[in-house]
Structure 1
């Protein structure tokens, strides 16, 4: 027996409602109700199913065709039409659904006939925009997985006719599952676009460009700091190359590959810029480099910043030492009460008299006679103490002085007598006891609190002449504070021996103060070299050298004082008390500096935050998305800052915040530079003078020479004001007269043969050594040292004084004139070919001149504490591709190769003939891919005369398209 299925049965025995249920199971759903226009035999369900199956296949073909068209002309924004308003909520997907609806109305039509019966399945036609909006509502796209989508088409008509008459009519819903790669490519393109405008908190162009800028700026900044002829650390030519390189990375991240011509364009541009620079720093940072010689393409890689290697100086620890902070703390310590108080505290002790009495004799003396028949009326007793002798001798050991006295203690009893109640006379008896009394003035040394703990080897550790002074002070104390030696001796004879301790201070001997000064000075020189290590990049935000130095000295405090286990004299105590007090003073100064640095970091952080400059190189980006592109093609392949045809496709602005003269940004940092907007520091003026002198060695420019002479005169006047402060400081540290101090100052400056050399010595502080070395040969070591440190600190303070600063207009006038010569020399230095031997001298001269041009923001919390120099570049780029094409496979891997679709982004109007009348209606707009981002980079270098920054006079560099 052969089984007959419902599907194969064509005898009309199956109810039509059951056919509807079967069609539902096979994803063909009828709408409501059946219309029987005639009492005929039922329509064959197989015939209906075959027709709907064909229509469903046609729907898949329509969806794929619409997918290709949507990719070729993606709608990014709705048009200002009725159709545009309909797709406004999601232009691309709604436009794709509209394309499916329009194509379905024209192409989803299936007709099958069997005998006299014909079944036709078709989508309703679209005759106007209203019908188009209705048809759009009847199309739905649902994402399933990967590139697979369910496409649903409602209101599909099923009409069965027999002999030309409608016998049955119904409405069903068609659905199919199909790959729509345009949706995936479009989402990746939107991801690509978001990456090109995202800020640094998200993966994208900003993060990639920032990482490259950090690497470039730190490489070139440290090369400039080391003397390389770099007048523009970060230039727009670098920004252009690095932006394109980061764009190539973003292509790979979003689509799985990049335009090979874009990669080659980056490589060629990097090579060109490297030739212009003459100094490295860019070529190694271009991650998408191809070999310009053979055009070989570097394989695409994931967009991970691991490939962008930061220069080691970003993370390499740099040393920050106490430096001149040790001098400043020492001057405050020596000029104030610190040193004297530490020494005097060591020369305080306590004394008290200790007595002993020895009985030596007894005597009675009677006066008067008792009257006869006299009556004793009353009596009273008087006492008297007589002290004789004036012996005083110096003591030994803990005994400061010894006094010997003889004390006679007399008690006299007086008696009154009467006779017959009348006064009759008196009698007395005097009983005298004699004692030999010794009074020893004992010394008990109390170690001062500010001296490190150690045991004393002697209870009274004073040597000559302090011992003699102590004897004098003790004798005075016995007279004024204990009532006198005779009184103490008399008390001892009567049995009173207890006396409290009294503090006595003696004048420290000159030798003790000299010793304490020398020891503290030696410690000062030792702590000058104490340093801490930290990455210089952290100086711009959180690392605080002064705070870490203070903590280091606090931790090493005891070992730095280096006190002995035993003190053998007050002079030794004074020495280590002075060392201890000096370290306390230094730590206090460092704590103040720490607060000042934190304030500057907050100010610098505010400037950086307001300009979107990150405080550290960005972290690596996450892994790239899965590859989806067969190829990527961009037009233009390289976004150039110069106009190729019409407007350039990339514009850049690059602002160096801290140049000379300093602008408003420096003021925000909290007065770290000092001065006002109308003056420049002596150091900046000196650097400019040195650069000008070297430029004039090979350039005959009368106007530059005249400006140089004016600057030199201004610097000479500033030096004269510094000399006044140095003379005052010299007299503080010595006993020189005004005339003698002036002669010493003159002799120190005479060691230099030019204004520039003298100004440099003032700027770097070495002039103090010259002045100290010019003191008379008879000057003691401590006086010479005191003079050196006083002048050194006074010089540092004077450099920050308003009266010493140089007019900004004078400095800027010279700088503007000398920069073309510097640039010309640098260009000649890198030019290949003509007369290499003759150009070597000029090359050396111009490199030196470029290196001496000052730039950057000195991080100086107090005068003399130049911890580092910082600079900030704010970089903004904007632009886009005229045309960007992504070719993507049409089929998923499980379905084999189905060709490709081409996703095209460009500026164009997207139109569609929705009603088939041959006239297209505007649906929306295709838009090119654009980029816009602002970021920045900072560089921190150790202290030095040149600093870091752009010195070519173009602090705000803008490309032609900005």
Structure 2
């Protein structure tokens, strides 16, 4: 094709016209609108020539308009007469249609067909105002076309062809040509729009947030576990990591959208990765500005297009499993169930028998007396009463049916006579007279004392084969052999003996027919059952479930609930209930087992309920401190597990592959301020990227974590002794390396408080030894003092007292000195582990003051190391330990509910960014124009176009910069240690300079 300049007229070679006419004549003929005109051969020849030139003019104008629209794309219409012609949702397409109209109209001015004295010209209506511009827009339609939609199809409606003979109009025709041009303006606009959409997609859809999450998770988990393992890491997730992850994710979204990413960006990410690695060696460095300055001045070298990922570490990933066991919950419930009064009640219930008195009354003869006779005529009956006297007169024989599941302990029968005396009172005038009649009724009364072993025990109802065999108990006890006399005493003797029971049955005055009696228990029963429960406790303690670490941190799974379900599945095996009991002792043992298992399930259920409460409070803290939520955090975890999609394949157009090339300014969006001296597209001082990185559960203590777990921290102005002890240890560690008067003063104050708490705890320990053994107070004090001797500083002693090491040691020493039995030692150990001294806790002010001083000293050393960050200096500093890594952080999962099975922390990251210029170009792939490209560029400039041909451009809109906002949450879960995991520099929220406004 021969290009036609806007400021010159040209002619199309007829060789090309011949080819075009073959194609276009059939296409255009159906669109003609013909007015009456003479049919002359000269006219037709002129029209055909004009139609061919019109087709070329349309093609050239549309192609030029596509190039121009892509170079200056209108994204947001201007509030001007010309801008209001564009629809907000289709601003680019509308601006392209307007440009195409104006370019085609200009090209049509040069169209001319001639044959003899006949000429044909082509035209479109001129645009004079906004109304005309709107009409012009509607005359043009554009859409993507061709293979893989890489080209553009355009239709121009109602081009007027005017036929003149000798200058006079003799005819007009209207044509609506459709052309397909290889310009990728629409393709590139759609791709860039898709790119921006993906950049701003939330965590629920593919895009920047998901890819950023996938890159941050391995960084956070590797650094979190390194910190947990003792590495000197102050900030697990710092803004320098956010920047690196964001830029890597941006390149990934570019590859998936355009098929390739910015080569300068790929080189920059390599430099940034290396620089971040250096800063991570100098732990806690806030050298973002330093690294960015180096990055901006770096001489990039070509690197692979494959994005760099953090180096693999030995730390786990969020999808890896962790094992959670019943653990200390088994001890906690055991202590409650085996409390002497509680265990005695359980055993007594197992030895308790229900007894009842079953009776039968049968009349042998006789009956009540009839009315006594009247004394004579004239007497009136004024009263009638009967008296009785009941007496057992001898033994008898009889039977009483025994109810199901009961058995007979004693049976007896009696013959009972009931004497009736009936007296009638008569009156005649003032005289009264009595007459009487007597009779006797004989009964046979049979009574049976019956019993059953159900009682109130939790043990299932089973028969006891040796229930009343006193010699069959494994503990030389009496089983239920003594139940019969106790039952007879309660139900028979209490009612007056056998004769008295028979007489009361006849009189219907037997008030008590049911009772419970407890058999005598063997003296060894308590310890025997206790030892059996110890074995059961060990089995329950080792009950475990496997859960994903990440889902524990996002509260998608509840380990206590899963453990409860697991214990319930094992319940039959753990309870070991036989088909029949060998003895009453075995029934007592089963009752104790079931009581313990019920207590374990109830405690795990309570822990599950507490975890549900923690879940709600964590969500509240997330909402309060960030813009995140647990729901979004779970989406982020899912995103971290989702495979990254492959790059988009290169589309193939009519002439072969259509390759795109991305060119961005800046290729690496830094967190530092840049200006036009580096990139011309910048408008003064700009922040290409800004970030806010909030660590939810970090120091100071008693903050967010306290709001979640409540009793895990003391609340108010007090903290747990373990927290204060770790802070004290951090101060001691720091003072070994660096002397500092302020830190020493803060440390001394905290040490005094920790020492006082230690004294309170050790006092409680020796009191427990004295109360639960036969040791006197002096001996108990000596036992505790000797056991605690190996922990010689306040910090390590406090840690031993809070992690249970001291209590275990005291139990071993006491057992050896006092020659305790296995049961006695176990009971003492559990009592010691339950000791707490809430009256003395270190203060929040002293603990936080010491922690702040530790961080201040560490930061001074860090700044010095960074200022002299030669390789040797960095390596030396990496070997030098300060105490900041010992400062505790994170959310314990989940005191006050035991066991403490993990510590979690959450980082919520928000980034906003803007490219000063974002350009994408694509090859035309036309054989007639090798190397031709269409470039689509957005840099925020105003787009103007002279729509009315007055020499002044009207503002259509702006080529908005490509900008984005993305956010994600990262959760890290580590095993339970006081050190925990989290940012320990005292700055819970890290905001980059310029936050929250990216760009100009």
Give your verdict on TM over 0.5. yes
Alignment CA distance shift 1:119-1:336 (3 Å): farther
Rounded to whole Å, the distance in 2 between the matches of 1:309 and 1:33 is: 82
Matches within 5 A, 1:653-664: 653-662=692-701
The alpha carbon displacement at 1:193 in A equals 0.8
Alignment CA distance shift 1:677-1:241 (3 Å): farther
RMSD between aligned alpha carbons? 4.4
Matches within 5 A, 1:316-331: 316-331=320-335
More displaced, 813-822 or 229-238? 813-822
Rounded to whole Å, the distance in 2 between the matches of 1:40 and 1:385 is: 150
| Contact 1:649-1:881 within 8 A present in 2 as well | yes
Rounded to whole Å, the distance in 1 between the matches of 2:647 and 2:198 is: 12
More displaced, 895-904 or 55-64? 895-904
Matches within 5 A, 1:891-902: 891=925, 899-902=932-935
Alignment CA distance shift 1:863-1:731 (3 Å): farther
- State the partner residue of 2:179: 176
Alignment CA distance shift 1:135-1:473 (3 Å): closer
- State the partner residue of 1:632: 662
The alpha carbon displacement at 1:325 in A equals 0.9
Alignment CA distance shift 1:487-1:454 (3 Å): closer
* Alignment equivalent of 1:789, drawn from 830, 833, 841: 830
* Alignment equivalent of 2:528, drawn from 494, 512, 515: 515
* Alignment equivalent of 2:844, drawn from 804, 808, 818: 808
- State the partner residue of 1:450: 458
Matches within 5 A, 1:559-958: 559-562=573-576, 567-608=581-622, 610-612=627-629, 613-615=632-634, 616-618=637-639, 619-620=642-643, 624-627=647-650, 629-645=659-675, 646-662=685-701, 665-666=704-705, 669=708, 671=710, 673-676=712-715, 678-723=717-762, 726=765, 730=769, 733-734=772-773, 744-775=783-814, 776-795=817-836, 798=837, 801=838, 803-822=839-858, 833-834=871-872, 839=876, 843=879, 845-846=881-882, 849-860=883-894, 862-891=896-925, 899-958=932-991
Q: Deviations over 1:2-24 (max 9, x none)?
A: xxxxxxxxxxxxxxxxx9xx978
From the CA coordinates, give the structure whose radius of gyration is larger: 1
- State the partner residue of 2:681: none
- State the partner residue of 2:160: 157
* Alignment equivalent of 1:482, drawn from 486, 489, 492: 492
The alpha carbon displacement at 1:690 in A equals 1.1
- State the partner residue of 2:66: 67
| Contact 1:78-1:88 within 8 A present in 2 as well | yes
Rounded to whole Å, the distance in 1 between the matches of 2:663 and 2:798 is: 60
Rounded to whole Å, the distance in 2 between the matches of 1:710 and 1:273 is: 38
Alignment CA distance shift 1:442-1:738 (3 Å): farther
Q: Secondary structure at the match of 1:575?
A: helix
| Contact 1:688-1:853 within 8 A present in 2 as well | yes
Q: Deviations over 1:33-68 (max 9, x none)?
A: 34x6xx895752132022111111111001101111
The alpha carbon displacement at 1:185 in A equals 0.2
| Contact 2:356-2:491 within 8 A present in 1 as well | no
The alpha carbon displacement at 1:856 in A equals 0.1
Rounded to whole Å, the distance in 2 between the matches of 1:863 and 1:815 is: 27
| Contact 1:158-1:169 within 8 A present in 2 as well | yes
- State the partner residue of 1:80: 79
| Contact 2:200-2:964 within 8 A present in 1 as well | yes
Alignment CA distance shift 1:732-1:48 (3 Å): farther
The alpha carbon displacement at 1:608 in A equals 4.5
Rounded to whole Å, the distance in 1 between the matches of 2:150 and 2:529 is: 85
The alpha carbon displacement at 1:293 in A equals 10
Rounded to whole Å, the distance in 2 between the matches of 1:44 and 1:294 is: 66
* Alignment equivalent of 1:343, drawn from 344, 347, 354: 347
The alpha carbon displacement at 1:640 in A equals 0.9
The alpha carbon displacement at 1:719 in A equals 3.1
Q: Secondary structure at the match of 1:595?
A: helix
More displaced, 919-928 or 499-508? 499-508
- State the partner residue of 1:200: 203
More displaced, 334-343 or 669-678? 669-678
The alpha carbon displacement at 1:738 in A equals 6.3
Q: Secondary structure at the match of 2:830?
A: helix
Rounded to whole Å, the distance in 2 between the matches of 1:835 and 1:928 is: 43
The alpha carbon displacement at 1:794 in A equals 2.9
The alpha carbon displacement at 1:703 in A equals 1.4
| Contact 1:313-1:535 within 8 A present in 2 as well | no
Rounded to whole Å, the distance in 1 between the matches of 2:537 and 2:136 is: 90
Unaligned runs of 5+ in 2: 1-20, 286-294, 359-389, 396-406, 418-446, 507-511, 651-657, 676-684, 996-1000
| Contact 2:713-2:719 within 8 A present in 1 as well | no
Alignment CA distance shift 1:112-1:725 (3 Å): same
| Contact 2:270-2:303 within 8 A present in 1 as well | no
| Contact 1:124-1:155 within 8 A present in 2 as well | no
More displaced, 538-547 or 198-207? 538-547
Rounded to whole Å, the distance in 2 between the matches of 1:500 and 1:136 is: 104
| Contact 2:271-2:300 within 8 A present in 1 as well | no
More displaced, 943-952 or 308-317? 308-317
Alignment CA distance shift 1:121-1:733 (3 Å): same
Rounded to whole Å, the distance in 1 between the matches of 2:238 and 2:392 is: 106
| Contact 1:908-1:925 within 8 A present in 2 as well | yes
Matches within 5 A, 1:1-20: none
Alignment CA distance shift 1:216-1:444 (3 Å): same
The alpha carbon displacement at 1:507 in A equals 4.3
Rounded to whole Å, the distance in 2 between the matches of 1:299 and 1:27 is: 52
Unaligned runs of 5+ in 1: 1-18, 283-288, 355-380, 387-397, 412-438
Scaled by the length of structure 1, the TM-score of the pair is 0.79
The alpha carbon displacement at 1:447 in A equals 8.5
| Contact 1:77-1:88 within 8 A present in 2 as well | no
| Contact 2:633-2:970 within 8 A present in 1 as well | yes
Matches within 5 A, 1:394-413: none
Q: Secondary structure at the match of 1:203?
A: coil
The alpha carbon displacement at 1:854 in A equals 0.5
Matches within 5 A, 1:539-558: 539=552, 540-558=554-572
Q: Does 1:959 align with 2:997?
A: no
The alpha carbon displacement at 1:329 in A equals 0.6
Q: Secondary structure at the match of 1:523?
A: helix
The alpha carbon displacement at 1:725 in A equals 5.0
Q: Deviations over 1:245-296 (max 9, x none)?
A: 00000111111101111011111101111111129999xxxxxx9xx99933
Rounded to whole Å, the distance in 1 between the matches of 2:336 and 2:162 is: 107
Rounded to whole Å, the distance in 2 between the matches of 1:511 and 1:336 is: 14
Q: Secondary structure at the match of 1:631?
A: strand
Rounded to whole Å, the distance in 1 between the matches of 2:130 and 2:486 is: 120
